[in-house]
Structure 1
Amino acid sequence: MDFIYEHNFIFAFIFLLISLILIFKQLNFNLSQKLKKFEQSEIKVFISDWVLIFGFLLLSFLLFNQ
């Protein structure tokens, strides 16, 4: 655990980068699905991806503020 506390800026940057990649993936998904009707399973994947994105953003925010 000391390694994480000593290098929290690096971990925060990695989590921020992962969340930005997921955001761009979601935006591409939104554009491709705009003309097609959503199915129930696609909505679940859509919501779970956004929960994952906000989780990574929150984790990077907490690590930046330590």
Structure 2
Amino acid sequence: MAITMGLAEAKANFSRVTSEVNRTGKPVTILKNNKPWVVIAPVQHDAVDVAIDFMDEYSDVFSELAK
């Protein structure tokens, strides 16, 4: 079952909504004017792993850019 809520409710309870998404792993569709607008979804761990690998691979470049 898809979880949906209005934008005002999501805004008022953003921390609770994101905690619930993270806890359950189920995305929440946010409605604006009763139409789907955005989806809040948990990060897929594969994407995090790819980002970490990328950062590790190019750490020397990032170090130079930080100077």
TM-score (norm 1): 0.32
RCO higher in structure (CA 8 A, sep ≥6): 1
Bigger strand share: 2
Structure with the greater alpha carbon radius of gyration = 2
TM-score by length of 2: 0.32
